[in-house]
Structure 1
Amino acid sequence: MQIDNWFYLHPKPATCGIFKQQADDFVVQEILGYDPQGEGEHIYLWVRKEGLNTAYLAEQIAKFAQLPLRAVTYAGRKDKHSVSEQWFGVHKPGKAEYDWSALNVPGAKVVKAIRHNKKLRTGALKGNKFTILLRNITSPDGLAGRIEQVCKNGAPNYYGPQRFGDSRYDPKGSNLVLAEKMINGEAIRNRNKRSMAISALRSWLFNEILSERIQAGHFATPISGDVMSLAGNASYFVSEAIDDDIRKRLTERDITLSAPLWGKGELPSTGATLAFETRVAAKHPKVTETLISLGLEQERRPIVLYPENLSWSREQDHLRIAFDLPAGTFATSVLREILNVETAEIGPSE
C-alpha cells in the first residue's frame, strides 16, 4: 500500500521547496462558521498552540478544569507540526468560571474564552485558513502558471500524508502500517490508534479511486451515473445522463463530482461510474472487506478541491501562500499540485 504514486492533475511540477522547516512555516486557523453567543453551559476556548496535537491538549484542558475527558470537545484535529488556532469546547453548566491564563501547557495559550448554548461537535467547522511559508524554492519559472491552474481547475481532493502518519519516519506512514496489520487479522487494542488506522485505510482507498479516475481522464469530465455532491453540504444526487445543466452547475461549482468512502451497502453510482468504481475497488478485496466488516456505511467525498481567497508572494527564495479550504480537506493536497514539497525536520519558531 503505497502513498507516493497517486496521479497529478497536471504533469508533476518542476518547482521544489522545503515545507515545515519551522513550526510557524505552517499556520492554520479554524473558521467556525458561527459566533459563540456569550452565554450557555458550554465554554468555547480559542487556543493558539505550537508543537502539540489536539487530543493531547484536550486531555490537559480536562485535567486543568477537573472534568472528565468527555466534557472537552473540539471540531477538528490540527497538525502537531504547525502553529494552529482552534476552538475547544468545555461542558461546564453553572456560573463557575476558570482562570484560563493559569493553564500551564508549554506551547499552548488560551487567547479567549466565551460561553455558548450548544456543544462544540466534531466536524462543526466551515473550514480552515492556511498561511504557509515554503523555503529554498528552486526552478520557480513555472510557479505562477501552476498556481493559476489550481485556482482555475482545482486540485485533486486527496487525503494528505497527515492522514497516513509521519512519512519522515516510516515511508508508508505509521497509521497505514497499522491498517495493513488490521486487514491481515491483527487486533489493534488501543482505541485511538485503531480509529486512526481505520481512517487511514478508508482514505487510502478513496485516493486510489481518485487517482485512477485522473488517469482515465475523467477528473473534470462527468460520465453517466456520476454522483454529484452539492457544494457546502453532504447531500448528493445521481446524474443518469450528463446534460448542459449538469455541465453548467459543475462549471459554476454548485456541484462537484464525487468518489466513494467505502463501507457496507450499495454504491449509489450507476452506469459507467458504477462499473469504474467497482473495478478499482475489486483490486483491493481485503481493504473493502475490512471496511465493510467494521460497519462503516457507504459515503461520498468530492474529488475536486478549490482553494478560496488564495494569495501568494515571493520573499527572496521563499514562497508565502495563503488560502482557505473546506473542513476535512488538506492544504498539502493543494501544495502538491503547485510544487514538489520536501518536508523538513521541524525546528522551533523564531
Structure 2
Amino acid sequence: MTDFPHNWPTAYPKLSVSAQFRTQQDDFFVSEITNRQLHASGPHLYLHIEKRGVNTHWLARQLANHAKIDLKDVGYAGLKDRHAVTRQWFSLPLKNNEPDLTHLFAKDEFTLLSKGYYGVKLKRGALGGNAFRIVLRNVQGDQAKINQRLELIRNQGVPNYFGEQRFGHDFENIQQAQQLFESGKRPRNRQKASMYTSAARSYLFNNMLAKRIELKQWDIPMEGEVFGFAGSLRGFKQENNEDERNRLRAQRIHPSCALWGKGDALSEGALAQLEQTQAHAYPLLSQGLEKQGLKQERRATRMLLPDLFWQWQDDSTLVLRFNLASGYFATSVLRELGEINVLERDQQEASRD
C-alpha cells in the first residue's frame, strides 16, 4: 500500500493548548438546517428525528424495515456520527398508507421531532447546512490566547479541509480507493464505491490546500485563481477588476482548489501548476477519478464562521456554537485551536458512519 501523509499544516501558529472532545455523548450536538417548506400532504413523508448512539446508515435500515420498503428508497441529506446527539431529516415514499413507526420511536435512542410531506425524495447534500454545539473538556492553555484565536477564526475563517473522518480509520477509505482504481471494478455496494472515490478526491484537495497554506495563499488569490462560493462546487476565473476585489474583501467569494476529475480545472498559471503537481503525485488516485467519470469541480479554500460564539462554563470547559455549510467539517475548526484529543473508539465509529 502507498503511504498517505496527512500532517497538513494549520493556517495559524500553533497554540500550547490541549483539550478533550466527545468524552460524553452530549458533548457533540449537530442539527441539520433546511430551508425546505413541507406540506400537509405529498408523495414523500419527511421525518425530523433526534438520535443518540446510532449512525445514519443503521437508522435508515430501521426505517426501511419498519416501513417495509427498500433501503435505497430511504432518503437523507448527509451522514451523522454515532457518538453524538444529532437531529436529521429522513424521507420515505408513500405508496398506500403511511407506515406505522410507533414501535421504532418507542425506543429511547430515537425521538420524532416533527413530520411533513414533500414532492420528491430527500437527496444527499440537499440541506442548508449544519448547526453545531461542541463541548471541549479538560482544556489546558492560556484562556486569553484561546479567546484571541477564536476571535481570529470568527473574523478570518479557517482552511476548508475535509475532516479525517472522510478518510476512514487508518486511512482505510483511501486504501480501498486505490484497490478500486487498480482493479478497475466497481464494488457491488455503490455507497461504498462512492465513499472511496470521495475519499480519494478529498485527499488530493487537502494536499492542494496544504500547499497553498505553506505559500500563505490559502485565503488570498494567487496567479490563475478560480473563485468560488461557500458550499458550491462551481467556480469562475479571476478577472482582476474592482467589483471582484470588493466581493473578495467582503468575503462573498473565496479562492478555491480543484476537486479532481476529468475536464478543464479552470485554473491557470501558478495555481494550475500547484494543482497538477499535487494530483500527479498520486497518479493512481487522480487517473482513477478521471476513469470513474468524475468531472472537475471546485471547493472554496476558506471556511467562514461569522456566527461563531463561545462560552467558558468553567476554567476548563469551553462550549462552541457555529453553523457550517453542507460538506464542511467541524474538525477543521478545532484543529486551529490546538491538540484536541478524541477517544480512539470514536474515531473508529466515525469512519463507519
- TM-score normalised according to structure 1 size: 0.91
Report the counterpart of residue 146 of structure 1 in structure 2. Answer: 149
Aligned-partner residue type, residue 189 of structure 1: P
Shift of 1:331: 0.6
Shift of 1:188: 6.7
For 1:137 and 1:42, how far apart are their aligned partners in 2? 45
Shift of 1:174: 2.7
Relative to structure 1, the CA distance from residue 46 to residue 216 in structure 2 (aligned partners, 3 Å threshold; closer, same or farther) is: same
- Identity across aligned pairs (percent)? 36
Shift of 1:121: 1.6
- 251-260 or 126-135: which moved more? 251-260
Relative to structure 1, the CA distance from residue 160 to residue 315 in structure 2 (aligned partners, 3 Å threshold; closer, same or farther) is: same
Report the counterpart of residue 127 of structure 1 in structure 2. Answer: 129
Report the counterpart of residue 287 of structure 2 in structure 1. Answer: 289
For 1:174 and 1:284, how far apart are their aligned partners in 2? 16
After the TM superposition, which residues 209-228 of structure 1 pair with which residues of structure 2 at under 5 Å, given as runs?
A: 209-228=208-227
8 Å Cα contact 1:42-1:119 kept in structure 2:
yes
- TM-score normalised according to structure 2 size: 0.90
Structure 2 alignment gaps of length 5 or more: 347-353
Shift of 1:110: 2.1
For 1:287 and 1:346, how far apart are their aligned partners in 2? 28
Report the 3-state secondary structure (helix = DSSP H, G, I; strand = E; otherwise coil) of the residue aligned with 2:264. coil
After the TM superposition, which residues 39-188 of structure 1 pair with which residues of structure 2 at under 5 Å, given as runs?
A: 39-94=41-96, 96-103=97-104, 107-141=109-143, 142-166=145-169, 172-185=170-183
For 1:159 and 1:232, how far apart are their aligned partners in 2? 13
8 Å Cα contact 2:66-2:100 kept in structure 1:
no
1:194 paired with 2:196, answer no
Question: Deviation per CA, 1:217-266, whole angstroms, max 9, x where unpaired?
Answer: 21122123211113464442111x43443222112122111111111112
Aligned-partner residue type, residue 29 of structure 1: S
Relative to structure 1, the CA distance from residue 320 to residue 3 in structure 2 (aligned partners, 3 Å threshold; closer, same or farther) is: farther
Of 6, 9, 12, 1:7 maps to: 9
Shift of 1:51: 1.9
8 Å Cα contact 1:257-1:302 kept in structure 2:
yes
Report the counterpart of residue 311 of structure 2 in structure 1. Answer: 313
Size of the alignment, in residue pairs? Answer: 340
Relative to structure 1, the CA distance from residue 235 to residue 204 in structure 2 (aligned partners, 3 Å threshold; closer, same or farther) is: closer
Aligned-partner residue type, residue 173 of structure 1: F
Report the 3-state secondary structure (helix = DSSP H, G, I; strand = E; otherwise coil) of the residue aligned with 2:336. helix
8 Å Cα contact 2:219-2:301 kept in structure 1:
no
Of 278, 303, 314, 2:301 maps to: 303
For 1:163 and 1:116, how far apart are their aligned partners in 2? 30
Question: Deviation per CA, 1:107-128, whole angstroms, max 9, x where unpaired?
Answer: 2222222222232121110100
Of 257, 261, 264, 1:263 maps to: 261
Shift of 1:309: 1.9
8 Å Cα contact 2:46-2:91 kept in structure 1:
yes
For 1:278 and 1:28, how far apart are their aligned partners in 2? 36
